[in-house]
Amino acid sequence: MDDFSHYNSDGKSVMVDIGSKDITQRSAKAEASVYMKSDTIAAIEKKLLPKGEVFEVARIAGIMAAKNTAIMIPMCHPLSLNYINVDLEIDQKKTRVHITSEIRLSGRTGAEMEALVAASVAALTVYDMCKAVDKDMVIGDCRLVEKRGGKSDYLSLK
């Protein structure tokens, strides 16, 4: 178990000690999609859904989720986030709501999980807001798009 950073010598799960790492500027971007019927997209655009304005509720849910990632993901460190952005847009061609999130911070560990959690929870919220009119929605394409800072950078080729 010595090769695994999240296990101690007895094989028990631990949160990695990041105390000796330098504080650096870090950022991460993620995305997710909610595929739905074109009638559901029209209802979103016309603000006709019974639970209210889908995009604003989903945006706030994504922001709140990013701030609470360490509560939901056991080995994530609580982070002091400098910036959280969640954007939602309709993609008529693919009949989906496309969600992007961006997180920035000054810290000792990255924000990948916060970006992924923000996009995921925003997608779940879109689903919740629209389920009364569309039972066939599919949440998908949740992925890390970009990570900057720390030991290495990452930029998705997709």
Q: What is the DSSP letter of 142?
A: E
Closest listed residue to residue 31, CA positions, set 117, 110, 134: 117
Mapped onto helix, strand or coil, the DSSP state of residue 122 is helix
Residues 6 or more apart in contact with residue 57 via CB below 8 angstroms: 51, 125, 129
Instruction: Sort residue 93 into left (φ over 0), alpha (ψ -120 to 50) or beta.
Output: alpha
Active-site residue among 22, 39, 91, 128? 128
Amino acid of residue 55: F
Per this entry, what is the length of the chain?
Answer: 158
Q: Are 43 and 32 a contacting pair, CB within 8 Å?
A: no
Please say if 10 is a catalytic residue. Answer: no
* Active site residues per annotation: 128
